[in-house]
Amino acid sequence: MTCPHCGKEIFDNQAFCQYCGGRTGSGSPLPTTETGGRKKTAWEDRDVHGFFGGILRTIQSTLFSPTEFFRTMTVTGGLTEPLLFSLIIGMVGLMISYVWQILLQGTIQNFLPPEMSSAAGYDMFHGLGIAVLAILSPVAIILWLFIWSGIVHLCLMLVRGARQGFEATFRAVAYSHSTYLFMALPFCGGIIAAIWSIVLIIIGLKEAHEISGGKASFAELFPIFLCCGVAIMGILFLGLMAASVGALMQQ
Amino acid sequence: MLIALRQRERGQIDFGLLYGGIVLLGLLAVRFLPVARFLPSCYFRSFLGIPCPSCGTTRSIVSLVRGDVLGSLVMNPLAAVVIHIALLWFGYSVLAALFVLPRPSLLLTEKEKNAVRLGAVMLALANWAYLVIAL
């Protein structure tokens, strides 16, 4: 068949033209249940699973069987549902983490060197600061989702990995935010959430775009490296841990 | 290469409105809120001693919102150009949405796409080299 927009020869039943990106009219633009082995997520199929059933099943699938989840996840159907999922999970995780910050404030302060706790700006997230942060959180989650999806998709385009369009990338990133729930754990929750989320996004990109793990890893890890080296922060953290253990053993 | 003018299809994502809007929101935040004060310093630079490829972006935005376009270009030329393009794209997307105008779309062959990819990498590297020398 030929693309109705650019007139180039494309495969039959292809929903989008690989040359111009236009919709070809083949296939269902908004899949209801299944399209080519892909189906709605439990969260998007709330008529069947219900609100809490849908959200819990989606969390369970993304966290514990991500390959299967992203392999069967539909890559069309709009951005609203994945955005809503990410927002709900993100808000739950962040709100509980704010409560921990308030409750454990004194404990955390005991671990800090005096010059750090007395430094200017240290108090910016306490008291009213946390309330302001809580109000701004939904905006921050939505903006971050779009910004990160855009950056990752550009990196995918760079390595010819954007086979399914922006929506597939957006969905992979949004559903990977299931890990935000770990932010409810005090102290280490944020680190667990961040690392697990990176792993899920790589799996999500690989399965959603049907590309190699190398391309998916590049798209996720390269911007992290560029954006001021979160990887370097990780190395520094490990170095600090190692130094601390070493110092303890010498005592 | 072919530049075609097309009407936006129903359900199609309007990237101009979306990302241009985010850039505009970022500029407004830097202009009216003390956002820049709370941003962490560059870990890449602290660790390796050279600026990262995105170093100077915040300073570029700060210069831009103060109306210093040249200063913005000096801080990070690529970031400044991208911000300007995003704002122009946003402006056109708003007009196109209001007056149902067609949007330009670029149709490239696979060979041309590869050239664009290579060009983007070269541009980013050239920008980084400038930052290493200038910042």
- Whether B103 is covered by a domain: the verdict is yes
Residues A22, B9: C-beta atoms closer than 8 Å:
yes
What would the pLDDT profile of B20-58 be if each residue is shown by its tens digit?
Answer: 999 999 888 888 877 767 677 777 787 788 888 888 888
Specify the pLDDT at position A213: 93
What would the pLDDT profile of A167-215 be if each residue is shown by its tens digit?
Answer: 999 999 999 999 999 988 887 888 889 889 999 999 999 999 999 999 9
What mean pLDDT is predicted for residues A146-163? 92
What would the pLDDT profile of A8-49 be if each residue is shown by its tens digit?
Answer: 667 666 666 666 666 666 544 444 444 567 889 999 999 999
Q: How many domains does chain B have?
A: 1
Rounded to whole angstroms, the Cα distance separating A218 from A223 reads: 8
Specify the pLDDT at position B24: 92
Residues A23, B9: C-beta atoms closer than 8 Å:
yes
What mean pLDDT is predicted for residues A59-67? 94
Residues B43, A233: C-beta atoms closer than 8 Å:
yes
- Whether B107 is covered by a domain: the verdict is yes
**Residue A11 gets which letter from DSSP?**
-
Find chain A residues with C-beta within 8 A of B4's C-beta.
5-6, 20
DSSP-based three-state secondary structure for A74: coil
- Whether B35 is covered by a domain: the verdict is yes
B22 closest CB neighbour out of A79, A146, A229:
A146
Find chain B residues with C-beta within 8 A of A158's C-beta.
117, 120-121
Closest CA of chain A from B53, distance in Å: 6
Report the residue of chain B nearest A20, measured CA to CA.
B107
Helices A128-158 and A80-103: crossing angle in degrees, nearest 10, is 140
CA–chain centroid gap for A97, Å, is: 18
Closest CA of chain A from B96, distance in Å: 18
- Whether B5 is covered by a domain: the verdict is no
Find chain A residues with C-beta within 8 A of B121's C-beta.
158
Greatest alpha-carbon pair distance for chain B in Å reads: 51
Report the residue of chain A nearest B117, measured CA to CA.
A158
Q: Is the model's pLDDT at A224 over the cut of 80?
A: yes
- Whether B108 is covered by a domain: the verdict is yes
**Residue A118 gets which letter from DSSP?**
T
Domain that holds residue B37: 10-134
Q: Which parts of chain B have pLDDT scores under 50?
A: none
- R_g over Cα of chain B: 17
Find chain A residues with C-beta within 8 A of B104's C-beta.
none
DSSP string, chain B: -EEEEEPPPTT---HHHHHHHHHHHHHHHHHHS-HHHHSPPPHHHHHHSS--TTTTHHHHHHHHHTT-HHHHHHH-HHHHHHHHHHHHHHHHHHHHHHHT--EEEEE--HHHHHHHHHHHHHHHHHHHHHHHHH-
Closest CA of chain A from B66, distance in Å: 24
Find chain A residues with C-beta within 8 A of B15's C-beta.
166
Specify the pLDDT at position A42: 93
- Whether B3 is covered by a domain: the verdict is no
What would the pLDDT profile of A101-115 be if each residue is shown by its tens digit?
Answer: 777 766 666 666 666
Specify the pLDDT at position A186: 82
Rounded to whole angstroms, the Cα distance separating A119 from A171 reads: 40
- Residues A167, A205 contacting (CB under 8 angstroms): no
Find chain A residues with C-beta within 8 A of B9's C-beta.
22-23
- Whether B90 is covered by a domain: the verdict is yes
Residues B47, A143: C-beta atoms closer than 8 Å:
no
Report chain A's mean pLDDT, rounded to a whole number. 79
What mean pLDDT is predicted for residues A138-154? 91
A38-39/A34-35 β-pairing: antiparallel
- E runs forming strands in chain A: 34-35, 38-39
